[in-house]
Amino acid sequence: MDANKKTETNLEVEILVAHQNNDGLKLAELYAEAAYNSSNSDKACFFMVNAYTIALENRHPDTLSFFQFLKKYDRES
C-alpha cells in the first residue's frame, strides 16, 4: 500500500470524526494539514479555504497564517 495514500485516508477519517464531534479547532488544523500535504496549489487552496473558514468561526490562533496562504495564491483578500 502506498504510504502517502494511507496518510490521506487517515486524514479523511480524522476530518470526518472532527466534523461529527463538532470540534472546530481540530477540524481547522486537519484541513490545514491536508492543504500542506497537497500535491498542487489548487488542491491545497481547496483544503485551506475550509481550514480558514472554520478557523474564522472558531477563532483559531493560526487564522492569520491560513489567510496569508490563500492570499499568496490570490484566493482571498
Which stretches of the chain bind another protein, using CB under 8 A? 42-50, 52-60, 63, 70, 74-77
> Between 6 and 43, whose beta carbon lies closer to another protein?
43
- Rounded to the nearest whole angstrom, what is the least distance from the CB of residue 3 to another protein in the complex? 26
4 or 41: whose CB is closer to another protein?
A: 41
**Minimal distance, residue 30 CB to another protein, in Å:** 16
Report how far apart, in Å, the C-alpha atoms of 25 and of each of 15, 28, 75 are: 11, 5, 22
Residue 8 or 42: the one with the smaller Cβ distance to another protein is 42
Is residue 73 helix, strand or coil?
coil
**Cα gap 48→32, rounded to integer Å:** 5
Q: How far is the CB of 45 from another protein (least distance, A)?
A: 3
Contact between 43 and 55 under an 8 Å Cβ cutoff? The reply is: no
77 Cβ contact partners less than 8 Å away, ≥ 6 residues apart: 71
